[in-house]
Every structure is written in structure tokens, then in C-alpha cells.
Homo-oligomer: A and B are copies of this chain.
């Protein structure tokens, strides 16, 4: 057991060949004779050699890793996407860095630095609000470092994106409520500046419209996707003189917050108010009541995004696939029901 890790030099010495031959035997086995290959492989075995990635990457001018930028790592919604990304990257030998999007300028500089410093070959951005000024930054090759957006996207950005049919999903949700007989359908929105907020709001309006219902400004409660914001919206709802009998929430977590809070005030779901979410996070099927929601293929989103990024990295920006939009599906469970008969 030597104290230094074996290098390609050691393998070459043991095998009695040059380092070039060792490198070839390992990375393009077809280019050496069978005898030599065996010799090298045996030497690798006896020395316990593993190629040093830093040296390889320096020479090859790539990092063999990508970076995922999420608004908040702790949100389970994003972890599923990251899981999908990792599923694609691992078999390719790519490492996956994760980082939270940065609010301060200093941190943002850190990101740009990461980009320019040859540490990663590409980015997957899950935060639609991230300033894409870094798009202009170039990697060591002089080319811009490829970026793909997933879930959220940025209007006017050059980066390709993989998204889901937010408008269609929201529309389906509203139509479901209308079909149950609801005429007073409210909406808890997402945070103001978010692209998903806008898309789901649009779907909400379209759903209302296609069901022959009028849009009422006062039926839209502002949320932030979070549990707490759903709770706050519930407080507001409880005080409304003419309450909606059904609520389409822009996220499952808002729905949980809402249900939790109204339950504490003796309101029962779905008897007194129907609630529908968006996302279908894992716990949704186990909530009490089980949540009717619009299901997003989160893992698949990650997988598709990773594949797109690899296309960009490898195929060098031709093969520009269309921005894929994945389907969502309405999962009907127990938080929606026909409205109670009016007294």
C-alpha cells in the first residue's frame, strides 16, 4: 500500500508501455493490440489506478459536471426534479452540483464565476426569476455555457426550456369544478412576479370563460405557493361576504394551508368548500381529505431537461429541439364535490 495514489506513469511502468498507450488502452481500447490491452488492464488492476479527473478535465477542456440552480433546495417540489436530473447524469459520468439561487449580488457573482471558471459544462435553472445576465458569460472555450430552464422559464430568454401545460392544467381544474356545479370559483394565485402564476391565472380565466362563468376580481386571492400563504388566503376567504364555493389553488401547498386553516374554523372540505391544487406532490394523495390536483411529471421534467442539456453540450448547439411541453393530468380525489345546496 503505497502512500501516493498511482498515476498513469505507474501503470505504464508496470505494464512496460508508454503513458500514451495506457491512456489509449483505457479510453479507446480499439486502438491498441489485444495483448497490450490485457497488459495494461492487468497493470491497472495491480496498481489500483483510477484516472485523475482534474487532469483529464483540464486537458479535455470540460468539467464533466453540470449545475442545478433551484430557488430553494428544501422545497420537495424541486428535489423530485433534481432526482430526475441525476438519473440521467449519473450513467453518463456527469456530476450534478446543486445550489440555491442567489439573491445578493455577491452570490450572483459567485455563480457567474462558477460558470466562467470551467467548473461546469452547463446549467439547469429552476428559477424563473434568475437574472440571465449570466447568459452572456462565456466558458473557457469561448462559447456561452449552455443553459436550459425547467418548470419556470424566463420571458424573452434565449435558453430553451422544458415546461408543463400550466394553462391547460389550470383550465382543466376549473372546468372540473364547474362540471360539479360550482359557479363561484375562486383562485389562490402564486407570487406576483412568477411566470407560473401568470400561466395558471390565464388557465383559470379560460376555464371560467369556457364554462360560461364570469371572472371576478375579488375571487382571486394572492398567494405565494407556500403553506403559510394558503393559510392566509383562508383567513381572507373566511371573512368574505360572498364566498366562492370552490377554490383552485396554484400549488398543493397553498391548498394544504387553506384546508388546514378552514378546518380549524369548522369548515369541512369538500362539504363546505371544494379545493383543488396543482403539482400533485407526494403527500397529496394522503392528505385528509385526499387532494384533487393537477399532476405534474416532476421526475420526467428533470430527465427531459438533463437530456436537452446534454444535447446542447455535446451537439454544440445544432439540433435545437423545440421547447418541450409535458402534459399534466387532473387527478380527482376527495377534496372536490358538488356545492352544498344553498339555503
Contacts and interface: CB of A to CB of B under 8 A. Distances in A.
Interface stretch (A46-54, A210-218, A311-319): A46-54
B86 A286 contact: no
A260 interface: yes
Contact of A74 (B63, B79, B263, B287): B79
A13 to B, nearest CB: 18
Residue among A55, A57, A73, A114 with most chain B CB within 10 A: A73
Nearest to A1: B138
Contact of A256 (B79, B80, B139, B286): B286
Interface string A130-150: 000000001111100000000
A119 B73 contact: no
A171 interface: no
Interface string A167-185: 0000000000000000000
A78 interface: yes
A249 interface: no
A290 interface: yes
A299 interface: yes
Nearest to A48: B116
B98 A99 contact: no
Contacts of A97: 65, 95-98
B65 A54 contact: no
A110 B58 CA distance: 21
A50 B283 contact: no
A52 B3 contact: no
A100 B282 CA distance: 18
B54 A63 contact: yes
Given A78-B79, A256-B287, 8 more contacts: A5-B140, A5-B141, A52-B58, A55-B58, A64-B119, A76-B76, A86-B100, A256-B286
Interface of A: 2-5, 50-55, 57-58, 63-65, 67, 72-76, 78-80, 82-83, 86, 90, 93, 95-100, 107, 110, 113-114, 116-119, 138-142, 227, 230-231, 253, 256-257, 259-260, 263, 282-283, 285-288, 290, 299
24 contacts: A2-B142, A4-B141, A52-B117, A52-B118, A52-B140, A54-B54, A54-B58, A58-B58, A65-B97, A67-B95, A72-B83, A74-B82, A74-B83, A74-B282, A79-B79, A86-B98, A95-B114, A95-B119, A96-B98, A253-B283, A256-B283, A259-B288, A260-B287, A287-B287
